[in-house]
Amino acid sequence: MDKLKFYIDGAWVEPAGAATAGVTNPATEETVGRISLGSAADVDRAARAARRAFASYSATSVEQRLGWLRGIIDGFRARLPELARTMTLEMGAPITFSTERQATVALFHFEEAARVLAGFPFEERMGPGIVRHEPIGVCGLITPWNWPLNQVASKVAPAMSTGCTVVLKPSEIAPLSAMILAEIIHDSGLPAGVFNLVNGDGPTVGEALASHPEIDLVSFTGSTGAGIRVATLAAPTVKRVAQELGGKSANIILQDADIRASVMAGVHACYTNAGQNCQSPTRMLVHVSQREAAFDAARAAVATIRLGDPMQPETTLGPLVSQGQFDKVQKLIQSGIDEGATLVAGGLGRPAEINRGYYVHPTVFGDVTRQMTIAREEIFGPVLSILAYDTEDEAIDIANDTPFGLAGFIQSGDPDHALKLAKRIRAGRVYLNGAPFDRSLPFGGYKQSGNGREFGIYGFREYLEVKAVLGYPG
């Protein structure tokens, strides 16, 4: 699965340098492919190709762009099993999850972009003038490894639909599925230079994209620290910056909810994608009177998890993505123990029956206080913290006591009461009573979870400038 070329200006080209990196299967710790590591020179070549293409592509019709989108959608559907298997190999998601979620939700973003594009009002009469929505220009897209194709599609699809051209840098940890997408895009007949892909690491390729004068917008998904760095590099050229960053979402279980069902569902939601989710409900808030019931339900939920080979359909929890992520999660589990939290389930080390791969025990801590490290830092692993509250006001205060604000969750027998509390949570999304994730509604964060929105019409608007035209007769 070696993918050593970059996709620039409609062709697969040799990189400027000779540096390469291996892609590791986190379930076996074996190298499954290699990519080239790009340089600032590769970014410059791609950005200039995107700039040349923008002049004509931005003037294409909605019908033309819909035609290319349909070609990408058809190609994606044809190669969906291959894409799912590739993501399982490169980042460890169980194959059932890769097929039903990782790959299919990425496809949805192209389908949603086509739906929005077909009816989007690019020009509107407003009072004495006309308001136009025009493509912002060349977009630098930097995506993470945890949802390697979903995050690519959520940026590429609306950017190209609006008439922008793009330079994509997928994560160097899980880049192989994005390379297949580049092949699909090439086969769709999209004009040369509209889509470009350069692999590489953040300090080299990512920073070159963020600072490049030909890039008009940089959209970044990743850690808050890296997001700050991207914004700093983007500032001298006053480019637009859209960020989807870290999270530490609270799941408030009210006293009128079914405590056992709510806790079990909350554990599984926390462990989705091995806990490597920015919006995971990693802080579970339960009433002080329901401590024991919550602990019992959490243990029962952990007992249903099937940890193992991600290529087997019965596996529900795969490995973490890398040795570095494994070490980080182990350190945070140790901090929970050291700081006095009660270990309800799981704990340190790798499961005894598994002798290779970056697997961790699905872990639950109880009696966690809001000052503990595990209650404040984004763990990005299957580690749940259960905190107690006495009043609903205290629960809201705990939920908002974080520098993050990506999502919130509320479980209640009274939807109206749940909605009332949802309005008090400082987060970009709030899920009531196990509502499913929806990719047509806006997604993004408050506070240090980022700025801007992705998905649906709100994600579409991120790639558009607004122009007022005055004096044209009505």
- Tell me the three state secondary structure of residue 466: strand
Q: What count of other Cβ atoms lies within 10 Å of the Cβ of residue 377?
A: 16
User: Do 175 and 90 form a contact (C-beta atoms < 8 A)?
Assistant: yes
Q: Which tokens in the block code for residue 296?
A: 């019992």
Mean pLDDT of 332-339: 98
DSSP conformational letter for 448: G
Angstrom distance (rounded) from CA 162 to CA 114: 10
Mean pLDDT of 335-356: 96
Mean pLDDT of 218-244: 97
User: Do 184 and 72 form a contact (C-beta atoms < 8 A)?
Assistant: yes
361 and 453 within one domain: no
Task: Tell me whether residue 272 is in a domain.
Answer: yes
Label residue 345 by pLDDT band (50, 70, 90). very high
User: Do 323 and 306 form a contact (C-beta atoms < 8 A)?
Assistant: no
Task: Tell me whether residue 169 is in a domain.
Answer: yes
Among this protein's residues, is 139 annotated catalytic? no
Report how far apart the first and last C-alpha atoms of the chain are (Å, whole number): 58
Among this protein's residues, is 394 annotated catalytic? no
Q: What pLDDT shows up at residue 352? A: 87
Q: What pLDDT shows up at residue 404? A: 98
Task: Name every residue whose Cβ is closer than 8 Å to that of residue 50 and which is 6 or more positions away in sequence.
Answer: 138, 165, 166, 167, 193, 194, 196, 214
Nearest Cα to Cα of residue 206 among 451, 3, 37: 37
Task: Tell me whether residue 444 is in a domain.
Answer: no
Report in angstroms the alpha-carbon separations of 141 from 220, 242, 319: 6, 10, 27
Q: Which domain holds residue 167?
A: 6-245+449-470
User: Do 357 and 28 form a contact (C-beta atoms < 8 A)?
Assistant: yes
226 and 269 within one domain: no
Output the furthest CA–CA distance in the chain (Å, rounded). Answer: 76
Res 235 pLDDT > 90: yes
258 and 182 within one domain: no
Domain count, the chain: 2
Task: Tell me whether residue 241 is in a domain.
Answer: yes
State if pTM tops 0.95: yes
- pLDDT, one tens digit per residue, over 263-290 is 999 999 999 999 999 999 999 999 999 9
Mean pLDDT of 411-427: 98
213 and 64 within one domain: yes
- pLDDT, one tens digit per residue, over 93-128 is 999 999 999 999 999 999 999 999 999 999 999 999
**What mean pLDDT, rounded, does the chain reach?**
97
Nearest Cα to Cα of residue 154 among 354, 401, 443, 380: 443
Phi, psi of 243, rounded to the nearest 5 degrees: -135, 135
Task: Tell me whether residue 299 is in a domain.
Answer: yes
Q: What pLDDT shows up at residue 457? A: 96
Q: Tell me which of 90, 111, 172, 244 is the catalytic residue.
A: 244
Task: State how far Cα 191 lies from the chain centre.
Answer: 28
176 and 59 within one domain: yes
Q: What count of other Cβ atoms lies within 10 Å of the Cβ of residue 300?
A: 14
Task: Tell me whether residue 443 is in a domain.
Answer: no
259 and 241 within one domain: no
Angstrom distance (rounded) from CA 376 to CA 423: 22
- Tell me the residue type at 125: R
Task: Tell me whether residue 1 is in a domain.
Answer: no
Q: What pLDDT shows up at residue 474? A: 80
- pLDDT, one tens digit per residue, over 346-393 is 999 999 889 899 999 999 999 999 999 999 999 999 999 999 999 999
- pLDDT, one tens digit per residue, over 68-93 is 999 999 999 999 999 999 999 999 99
Res 311 pLDDT > 90: yes
Res 344 pLDDT > 90: yes
Res 11 pLDDT > 90: yes
Name the one residue in this structure whose structure tokens are 């270990």: 343
Instruction: Show the DSSP H helices in 212-281 as ranges.
Output: 224-234, 259-270
Q: Tell me which of 214, 278, 378, 454 is the catalytic residue.
A: 278
Q: What pLDDT shows up at residue 439? A: 86
Phi, psi of 120, rounded to the nearest 5 degrees: -80, 130
Residue 385, beta-bridge partner list: 283, 365
Task: Name every residue whose Cβ is closer than 8 Å to that of residue 296 and which is 6 or more positions away in sequence.
Answer: 260
Angstrom distance (rounded) from CA 429 to CA 140: 25
23 and 168 within one domain: yes
Angstrom distance (rounded) from CA 372 to CA 380: 16
326 and 421 within one domain: yes
Compute the Cα dihedral for 279, 243, 92, 381 and give only its sign.
negative
267 and 224 within one domain: no
Task: Tell me whether residue 279 is in a domain.
Answer: yes
Phi, psi of 357, rounded to the nearest 5 degrees: 100, 160
427 and 453 within one domain: no
Angstrom distance (rounded) from CA 48 to CA 176: 24
User: Do 28 and 203 form a contact (C-beta atoms < 8 A)?
Assistant: no
- pLDDT, one tens digit per residue, over 21-53 is 999 999 999 999 999 999 999 999 999 999 999
Angstrom distance (rounded) from CA 117 to CA 133: 12
279 and 186 within one domain: no
123: CATH: 3.40.605.10
Mean pLDDT of 415-426: 98
Task: State how far Cα 423 lies from the chain centre.
Answer: 24
184 and 132 within one domain: yes
Number of helices and strands (H, E) in the chain? 16, 20
Share of the chain above pLDDT 70, in %: 100
- Tell me the residue type at 270: C
257: CATH: 3.40.309.10
